Every structure is written in structure tokens, then in C-alpha cells.
Amino acid sequence: MTKENTLTRIPMPCQEPGIRSKNFEEVALGYSEDMALAEAGRCLQCKKPLCMQGCPVEVPIRDFIACVVARDYAKAYEKITSSNSFPAICGRVCPQENQCEGRCILGKKGSPIAIGRLERFVADRAGAGAKVDKVLGKGKRVACIGSGPASLSCAGVCARNGFDVDMYEAMHEAGGVLVYGIPSFRLPKDVVAREIEGLSRLGVRFFMNYVGGRTVSVEDLRKEYDAVFIGVGAGLPVFLGVPGENLVGVFSANEYLTRVNLGRAYRFPEYDTPVYPGRHVTVFGAGNVAMDAARTALRMGAESVNIVYRRTRAEMPARKEEIEHAEEEGVAFTMLSAPLCFTGDAEQKLCSVKLQKMELGEPDASGRRRPVPIEGACVDMPTDLAIIALGTRSNPVLLQATPGLSLNDRGYISVDENTGETSIANVFAGGDIVTGAATVILAMGAGRRAGQEIVRRFA
């Protein structure tokens, strides 16, 4: 391999934009074996792999890539799953560019190793037929509230160490944000189902339609289980607080994506769960959720989709790849603009949004330059469906129903950062209900730490 080839990563094959924007099939098609071998061959096999330092779950990256080079994919899968229970998921949605790949030494002069793409390749090739060894039961019981990334990771650690794990999920399907939040064109539902099935084979039991703080409580679970893990996420949407936000046709991204993803509205009429139609869609926000909502609306038949953001493209928090995919598919971007009010017709249906034009001033607490209104600069944008993707807050239902549970000044659960234990003995928490909205892999890392502490304490 030449030096030039060593510095250039193998591109990921994808569906053509004009085709994929009309379907919900996965956009990224995955590496072929030849592609994976060529990409793995770029790895320098550093004596001190910095990439591992950037991984929240400490995957032995150098070692699994060496196994790929040797074409021992089963061993590569074993290496990955020694610390990451869900490589097929993480390989697709983890922001590797800010974590493991961001530390890769090749990135200093060229392209870092495509660690996520190789992880996905290994998981897809070897994961489906991987053997699951169930450990002899130790008579200890763990309950997880919620079945998102943090709870799944905690359950995996505990189950692999012989604990009996029961998971209580509010929805009718397990997976949390992996199912209701992330569209299938980024994370296919059968991939999530496959990973969850692996936990079932380990003995983890799933109980659907159990709402934490209502139909199941921490207090009751503590009487039956040795430890309880809270992984309910942060699912209370943040709204704009502008006039007209209650008009028909204004949705939070949470509700819109849940209707399409969990409700399978994208497969109507096979599933009798239609979604509110929009011809001219406006999405507010510029994170990954905003990109998901915009690209979903396009696939649901919108004639135009516009992302409105109060800063510039340089400040957009979404992954670069997601922004590029959205743009390729025809999503438009209106920068330096913020909504002032929504306007409706006689039937209280959304017709348009008035936007205030902005300019960037001095940096604010986030470190980004603060958007400042330009006096008198307002425009009307026609829209019949608005999707607000400005983030989420902690849902108070379980928190208010759990006496003695300490919260921080932002309303999230306070935990010991090393163990994940809350102010209540043997009750742990992790994921967005602790950190606020963050990444899947960070939630998995928190669940893994809590699971390891539970095992250490009760094994």
C-alpha cells in the first residue's frame, strides 16, 4: 500500500440521493469484504492506540482491526463485544469523528481510520451467528427502567455475569430512542431487534407498557431486586415559546419521529398509523434530530423541507455526514434566522412562520457566537408543517414519584460519576436522564459503568 493510499480512507458506498430520498432503506450500504480489508490495512497498529482513549466504552480498536486484517471476523467480533454489547448499532450512529477517529494519528496528515465502518462490517458479518454463552445464574436480580441504550448496556453487563435482569419499558416495543427516535434509513429496525434478541438469549426479560413512576416504581422494584437501574432518557421536548405554537401542524421532533418510526407511519397503509401530511415543511434546530426530522419529512412526501437555524453552518451541532446527506437529498438550509410567530388559517391550521434575521455577535456560554437580531429584518416563510427540534428536558413523571432521589440544578438525576449510583442505595442511573440529551455511545458507556459496579457489588 502506498503512502498516499494509507492517508486516504475507503469511501462508504451509499444509495444515490435521488433514490434514497424516496425510501426508508438504509442510506449507507456498508463495506464489502475487499473494502473492509483495504481500510483495515491502513491501520498503523500503534503501540499506544490513542483511538481507545476516545472511546466511551473502551473498545480494543487496534486489536479488532488486526483481526479484520487476518480475516478472523469472529475473533474481531469477540474483541469488540468484550466492551461494547451493540457494535452493529454503534457502528452506524456513534459520532466516531469526535471520539475514537478524532484521536487516530492518521488524521493529522490524512483521513483517520474508518473505525465505525469497520465495526459495522464486523458486526453485520459475524454478529448474527455469534454464539451467546449464558453464565450460570448467581441468584441476584436487577431491574432496568427503560430499554434505551443505557439500560440495554447495563443489562448486557449484568446478564453476561450471571444476573437475572428484567427490563420495564413504557412503549410497546423495546429499544428506546433507537426505535422511536432514529429513522430506519440511519438505523434499520431489524438491526436493533437483532441486538435485543442477543440479550433475550442471555436471559434478559422484557416487559412492555410499564411506565416508570406510574405502573412501575423504583420503591416497589427495590423490594424485589438487588439493584435498580434508571435509564428512562430525557424525552420531554423543548418548545420555542412563540405565538401560534399550538396551531395544528406544529409538532415536536419527538412526537413526529415517534409517529413515523415507532408507529411505522412510513409503511402506511400496511400499518394504519398515518402521519400529519406536510407539503412545505420547516424544521427548527440543527442537531442530528433536526436532520432526522427533515430527511424523514422529505421521505414522507414533502415538496420542500427547510431547516431554519439561528447561527451559521459552521456552528451546526449535527454530524457533518448527516448535514451532507440532508443537503444531497434536497433539504434546504436557512441560516441566521429565528422564528417570531406562527400564523394559521380560519381552521387554526398552520400557514406560515415569521422569521427574524440574525447576525453573530460575541460568544455566549456555549463558546459559540451569540445570534443577535437585525432590527426590522423579518420575512414570512410559507409552511404547513413545523417540526421543533431544539432538544429535550427530563421527564418529571418518574422523578417526582421517587422520594429521596437527588436531582441537579438542571433537573436531571445526580449520580456518582464513577459508579452511576444515585442518592438511593443500590439504585443507579445513566444516559440522558443524567447528562441531558447526548449520544448513544455515551449512554451505553454510563450503563456499562453502572453494570460493572452492580456486578462488583453483588457477584
> pLDDT of the chain along its 459 residues, tens only?
544 567 799 999 999 999 999 999 999 999 999 999 999 999 999 999 999 999 998 999 999 999 999 999 999 999 999 989 899 999 999 999 999 999 999 999 899 999 999 999 999 999 876 666 666 677 899 999 999 999 999 999 999 999 999 999 999 999 999 999 999 999 999 999 998 998 999 999 999 999 999 999 999 999 999 999 999 999 899 999 999 999 999 999 999 999 999 999 998 889 988 899 999 999 999 999 999 999 999 999 999 999 999 999 999 999 999 999 999 999 999 999 999 999 999 999 999 999 999 999 998 887 888 999 999 999 999 999 999 999 999 999 999 999 999 999 999 999 999 999 999 999 999 999 999 989 999 999 999 999 999 999 998
What single DSSP character describes residue 315?
G
Examine residue 119 and state whether it is found in any structural domain, yes or no: yes
What's the pLDDT score for residue 369? 87
Handedness of CA 266, 272, 276, 279 (dihedral sign): positive
Strands 332-334 and 304-308: parallel
Examine residue 333 and state whether it is found in any structural domain, yes or no: yes
Examine residue 99 and state whether it is found in any structural domain, yes or no: yes
152 and 290: one domain?
A: no
CATH number at residue 194: 3.50.50.60
* Domain, as residue range, for 113: 3-127
Examine residue 135 and state whether it is found in any structural domain, yes or no: no
Cβ 450 vs Cβ 418: under 8 Å: no
- Which residues, 6 or more positions from 338, have their beta carbon under 8 angstroms from its beta carbon? 308, 310, 355, 356, 358, 371, 373
Nearest 5°: the CA angle 245, 186, 151 is 80
What order do you get walking across the sheet with 337-344 strand by strand? Answer: 337-344, 350-363, 369-382
Using the 3D structure, point to which of 388, 416, 450 is the last residue of a domain: 388
199 and 89: one domain?
A: no
As separate numbers, helices (DSSP H) first and strands (DSSP E) second, the chain gives 19, 15
Give 428-445 as a DSSP string: EE-SHHHHSS--HHHHHH
347 and 243: one domain?
A: yes
255 and 163: one domain?
A: no
Question: Which of 397, 406, 410, 399 has the alpha carbon at shortest distance from 437?
Answer: 410
CA 436, CA 450: separation in Å to the nearest integer?
A: 17
CA 290, CA 322: separation in Å to the nearest integer?
A: 10
What's the pLDDT score for residue 452? 96
Using the 3D structure, point to which of 349, 373, 388 is the last residue of a domain: 388
Strands 350-363 and 369-382: antiparallel
Cβ 92 vs Cβ 187: under 8 Å: yes
291 and 354: one domain?
A: yes
Strands 205-207 and 427-429: unpaired
377 and 244: one domain?
A: yes
Question: Looking at the 3D structure of the chain, how many domains does it have?
Answer: 3
Strands 385-388 and 280-284: parallel
Examine residue 136 and state whether it is found in any structural domain, yes or no: no
247 and 358: one domain?
A: yes
The three-class DSSP label of residue 379 is strand
63 and 10: one domain?
A: yes
383 and 251: one domain?
A: yes
309 and 333: one domain?
A: yes
The three-class DSSP label of residue 60 is coil
CATH number at residue 81: 1.10.1060.10
What cell does 390 get?
431544539
CA 88, CA 92: separation in Å to the nearest integer?
A: 7
Question: What are the Cα distances from residue 324, in Å, to 194, 316, 319, 391, 439?
Answer: 29, 12, 9, 21, 19
CA 205, CA 424: separation in Å to the nearest integer?
A: 24
Cα atoms found within 13 Å of the Cα of residue 268, Cβ hemisphere only = 16
